[in-house]
């Protein structure tokens, strides 16, 4: 019986020591999660370079989330907002020129091609509409309480 108690105590102590050592283990290093996003576009590379605003969807035919983002961005086209989808399969040159590494990537640029907002990955229609509205009229941005 004393032997059984000794074994149980040894296992309990070993468990507590293992638990304490596990807690002391440092967290893994932070991994970069952001992909590069262009900060400037040459408006001559895209449709309607004279439009005050440009929404570009960089996509790929093999991208699972691109179809959803395509439907959400396509409807942003307006008199003062040019819209263009740039598929990797049909326009690799633009993907390379702007160092696009992840799709879907939506960029919103002003008349000079300065990127004022961007979204990497899937995005909600509300976020897209809000970003375009804020770009067109900065006073429309919701204020924090």
Q: Other C-beta atoms within 10 Å of 134: how many?
A: 16
Residue 33 pLDDT > 60: no
CA distances from 90 to 18, 31, 60, 64, 101 (A): 56, 32, 9, 17, 16
Chain segment 12-29, per-residue pLDDT in tens: 777 777 766 666 656 655
Residues pairing with 120 in the sheet: 105
> Taking the model in full, what pTM does it have?
0.74
Chain segment 76-105, per-residue pLDDT in tens: 999 999 999 999 999 999 999 999 999 999
Structure tokens at 17: 């020591």
Mean confidence (pLDDT) of the chain: 85
Q: Other C-beta atoms within 10 Å of 102: how many?
A: 14
Range with the poorest average pLDDT among 34-38, 42-46, 113-117: 34-38
CA distances from 2 to 11, 16, 92, 104, 132 (A): 14, 21, 75, 66, 76
The position carrying tokens 């952001």 is 34
């Amino acid at each position: 019986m004393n032997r059984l108690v000794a074994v149980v105590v040894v296992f309990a102590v070993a468990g507590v020591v293992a638990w304490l050592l596990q807690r002391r283990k440092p967290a893994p290093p932070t991994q970069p999660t952001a992909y590069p996003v262009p900060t400037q576009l040459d408006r001559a590379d895209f449709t309607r370079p004279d439009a005050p605003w440009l929404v570009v969807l960089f996509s790929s035919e093999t991208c699972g989330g691109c179809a959803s983002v395509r439907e959400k961005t396509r409807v942003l086209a307006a008199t003062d907002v040019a819209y263009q989808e740039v598929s990797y399969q049909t326009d690799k040159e633009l993907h390379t020129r702007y160092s696009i590494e992840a799709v879907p990537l939506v960029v919103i640029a002003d008349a000079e091609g300065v990127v004022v907002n961007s979204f990497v990955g899937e995005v909600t229609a509300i976020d897209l509409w809000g970003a375009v509205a804020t770009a067109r009229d900065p006073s429309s941005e919701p204020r924090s309480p």
